[in-house]
Structure 1
Amino acid sequence: MSTSPEGSTTLSRVRAAYARIEAVDRPEIWIDLRARQEVEAQARAIDERLADGDRLPLAGRLFAAKGNIDVAGLPTTAGCPAYAYHPAADAPVVAGLRAAGALLLGTTNLDQFATGLVGTRSPHGAVRNALDPARISGGSSSGSAVAVALGIVDFALGTDTAGSGRVPAALNGIVGLKPTRGLVPTEGVVPACASLDCVTVFARTLPEAEQALAHMTTGAAPALPGRPGGPWRVAVPPPDQLGAMDEGWAQAYGAAVRRLAAAGAEIRSIDLTPFTEAAAMLYEGAFVAERYTAVGSFVDKLIEEGGEGLDPTVAGIIARARDIPAHRLFADQDRLAVLRGRARSELGDADALLLPTAPGHPTLAEVAADPLGANARLGRFTNSTNLFDLAAVAAPAGEVNGLPFGVMLIGPAYTDERLARIAALLQPAARVAVVGAHLTGGPLNPQLLSLGAVLDRTTTTAPVYRLHALRTTPPKPGLEHVGEGGAAIEAEVWRLPAEGLGRLLSSLPRPMTLGSVELADGTSVPGFLCEPGALGEAEDITAYGGWRAYLDAG
């Protein structure tokens, strides 16, 4: 049988996911959850393909898609049942992930027509926060973010026009990647504002998010002149330009700035004014008219028929956009061009702008009392990103009063990878378990050292593995999780920067995979496993107790 990223079969991971869905009891996450039997059948097929030697980089990874993204076999509703249509094919982003072996569980709830940052504007119910059900999850990609945060799926697709792929990440303590517009196709996505929309990805870690994103893009980004290894230049606004924030949030932001400085980043000041002025234009100006272009005629017709299934706040925003005069749009475009120029001048040669992702985390009751005001406040730092054609990464940066606090790094188009490298500096150090050529003194150990890795300890795995000598150059072993009939295998645990783990994952050659390795003390850490298809002709060397003992005996 095949091993997934968790050291188990894809089928067992699917069963665990459905058990988790039942345990968390959050039906508002989903619009359409696929039948368990159907998903299990696909899981068996993936396991069989892996056993036959197929290369499926995302095998065993479970994901969900926001309900405005086409999934063959499920209706696309954009959070409005009356709008539903049945796509003939997957959106390209979904197709790319499935082709790589990822398995989709269903479509997720959202602020209707992707209009909102709160996660409450849906006839399917408000999506409650993953950690505090009395608070909002953030929107519009609410269901996708909470499905990831609750551990149901490994990653999920969202969309981002004004911050919908970042605000829910911050409020639920996960990662949100908003790529440069055009890197990820939007074909098969119900538009909100077609000229600004992006498909995004949520995951619990940066490496997982980046791995998924690699199978969603249209191709390589244009080559940019750059400084691939830093030291990074990070712009930050003065505290008085952040505006009113929740208690403790300004201090948490200051701590994130200091953490980057301690990691070697050069911190410089920036005038945030052009960013916040442009942010206010997204909904208060004429650009909202594009939302009417997308679904306005449908909304008008449904209102005439009684408005059943329409969220009243969303309907009001879209309907009012119908009457915006054309001259106002041209005036706003001119003003935006001026602000964009000022923003680029302020950024100068900085690699990134560091901001809080949101200024606070409202309760469901607070949003219900002031739906427009609460939403506008949440977009203070995110609304301008797509208007300025920038890339962004949202990442966890600690807690305030027991709830997640998140920041985002914003940079010029096509600096997506650079932003992720800087964001990784904010994350805790990662650990990785090695059992073969990466061991101290081994031929691949310099690869770990080059990533800044430091030996944590020498130990053994739990007695649930078998070790095989692979026919590779250089020689290396394959670790297989078998459960009963396994043995303890010598292992080393190395500590390395979180960004180093991501680079290690992206450079793994076939047949190696990165999965969860159980250690003798009962803990689990990421480590190297092997595709089952490569073990057929490999010698079982488990009896030696480890790779070094096997080499010494030879």
Structure 2
Amino acid sequence: MNLSISHLQAQYRAGNLTPTQLVQQLDAEIGEANSYNIWIRRLTLANMLIYAKNLEGKDPASLPLYGIPFAIKDNIDLAGTPTTAACPDFAFTPEKSATVVQKLIDAGAIPVGKTNLDQFATGLVGTRSPYGACKNSINPAYISGGSSAGSAVSVALNMVSFSLGTDTAGSGRVPAAFNNLVGVKPSLGLLSTSGVLPACRTLDCVSIFAKNVADAETVMQVAQEFDADDAYSRHAPNSEVTIGNSFVFGVPSPSQLAFFGNAESAQLFHQAIERLEKVGGKMLEIDFAPFIETAQLLYEGPWVAERYAAIKEFFDAKPETIFPTTYKIISNAVKFNAADTFNAMYKLKALQHKAEAVWLDIDVLVTPTAGTIYTIAEVQADPVQTNTNLGYYTNFMNLLDMAAIAVPTGFYSNGIGFGITISAPAFSDSALLNLAKKL
């Protein structure tokens, strides 16, 4: 079934399909099997029909997401459905949906279920879950990427039209690359995080997975809005950032590119650069050092204490219920004191100042979304270092207040997707989407 938003809209408006028919067909096609470990909890047919029947009799043209099925990462609340964050003992059932989820439902979207993730959104691999390691949609021996693992795979396997993830360190971009999807990491505060379980509250954002840029843009237009109840929500500026037909894109200098022994990644990145040049881009090598140093702060600095703060009471009371690698990472929070935190903030401010200078010469920054890809077995054998490698091009993004879009640009010989991330300072979201459409 073609689940692109434009196709479903056309079918609804022509009278060839109803939301009830769509839900019934989807439920039958998805079935009860969960061999890719995508779902933590899928809505029953009866539950999905409630949403579908609420749309019957309404004009399909009156709602931008009329009858569009979507999945929700299970650290984002859906009213009446447990939120687990991939930790069964942590589960609670919210009375109301996260603000962004409710906006999508109000626009006509139909939730299909809650998806698997690296526990407490801590990881870029998709394997740190008691619900099973999420498998890559193209080659199940490989990782899906994380932490928004099931959200990405549900879109890639045509179970939903789009999905919501979160992105603190790359969780909305790495799974997009590995599953041949578009992954939008909005500017911080552009989409509400009310009703989202924090990982690092000062750095979290809700992300979007879709099969194409047009669908991602449609969802973004519905989802974004200032939320007075979210202390970290921000108003988008009135002036819109634009990127012209001719633009300068920065890439790390050759000595600063890291592919972790994967020569194929280097070749695929070179091919992506050629595509950018064909659509009007001019490449400029930049000093990537401030970005690398910033990335190291996220897990090696006191920001890991934010992860502890988010679940402190539960973490202290039931440590034995937490996934071992997740526990090891979050327990590092106790190493840092208040002085360490301020010193790290001073260092970050200095790095932000250095990074700002880059934008005097370039319009966008372009990097691989991930420098390599691993099998599930490889990650399980070395869970921390493999994850660290995957964050090389992603961990700095929110600390430097940037917007980004991960775009698929090729495939490895093993079939796994490869992609690049195009990024720019905050609130360049629309400009990045427009540029991504050209690729």
TM-score (structure 1 length as normaliser): 0.73
Counterpart in the other structure of 2:258: 243
**Which residue type is aligned with residue 186 of structure 2?**
P
After superposition, residues 48-59 of structure 1 pair within 5 angstroms as: 48-50=57-59, 55-59=62-66
What is the rounded CA distance, in whole Å, between the counterparts of 2:289 and 2:243 in structure 1? Answer: 29
**What is the aligned counterpart of 1:415 among 428, 433, 437?**
428
After superposition, residues 125-524 of structure 1 pair within 5 angstroms as: 125-219=132-226, 221-224=236-239, 226-227=241-242, 229-245=244-260, 246-303=262-319, 307-308=320-321, 310-401=322-413, 402-426=415-439
**Which residue type is aligned with residue 30 of structure 1?**
W
Choose 1 or 2 for highest CA Rg: 1
CA contact (8 A) 1:4 1:10 kept: no
Identical aligned pairs, as a percentage? 44
**Which residue type is aligned with residue 187 of structure 2?**
T
Deviations 1:390-418 (A, max 9, x none): 00000101112122111101100100011
CA contact (8 A) 1:33 1:107 kept: yes
**Which residue type is aligned with residue 236 of structure 1?**
V
Unaligned 5+ runs, structure 2 = 1-6, 12-16, 227-234
Counterpart in the other structure of 2:4: none
After superposition, residues 19-30 of structure 1 pair within 5 angstroms as: 19-22=28-31, 25-26=34-35, 28-30=37-39
Counterpart in the other structure of 2:8: 4
What is the rounded CA distance, in whole Å, between the counterparts of 1:226 and 1:318 in structure 2? Answer: 37
Counterpart in the other structure of 2:231: none
Find out whether 1:67 has 2:74 as its counterpart.
Answer: yes
Deviations 1:360-409 (A, max 9, x none): 11000100110000110000000000000100000101112122111101
Moved more, 211-220 or 250-259: 211-220
| 1:419 to partner: Cα distance | 1.0
| 1:281 to partner: Cα distance | 1.4
Moved more, 19-28 or 6-15: 19-28
1:162 alignment partner, SS class = coil
**Which residue type is aligned with residue 162 of structure 2?**
F
What is the rounded CA distance, in whole Å, between the counterparts of 1:334 and 1:80 in structure 2? Answer: 35
What is the rounded CA distance, in whole Å, between the counterparts of 1:421 and 1:179 in structure 2? Answer: 14
What is the rounded CA distance, in whole Å, between the counterparts of 1:149 and 1:29 in structure 2? Answer: 11
CA contact (8 A) 1:181 1:197 kept: yes
| 1:76 to partner: Cα distance | 1.1
Moved more, 76-85 or 128-137: 76-85
Find out whether 1:102 has 2:118 as its counterpart.
Answer: no
| 1:262 to partner: Cα distance | 1.2
Q: Over the residues paired in the alignment, what is the CA RMSD in angstroms? A: 1.7
CA contact (8 A) 1:232 1:422 kept: no
What is the rounded CA distance, in whole Å, between the counterparts of 2:242 and 2:177 in structure 1? Answer: 28
Counterpart in the other structure of 2:88: 81
Q: Which has the higher contact order (CA 8 A, sep 6+)?
A: 2
Counterpart in the other structure of 1:36: 45
Moved more, 91-100 or 246-255: 246-255
1:65 alignment partner, SS class = strand
1:200 alignment partner, SS class = strand
**Which residue type is aligned with residue 82 of structure 2?**
P
TM-score (structure 2 length as normaliser): 0.92
Deviations 1:85-134 (A, max 9, x none): 11111111000000000000111111111011110111111100001110
| 1:225 to partner: Cα distance | 6.2
- Equivalent pairs counted in the alignment come to 418
Moved more, 100-109 or 265-274: 265-274
Unaligned 5+ runs, structure 1 = 427-554
Counterpart in the other structure of 2:229: none
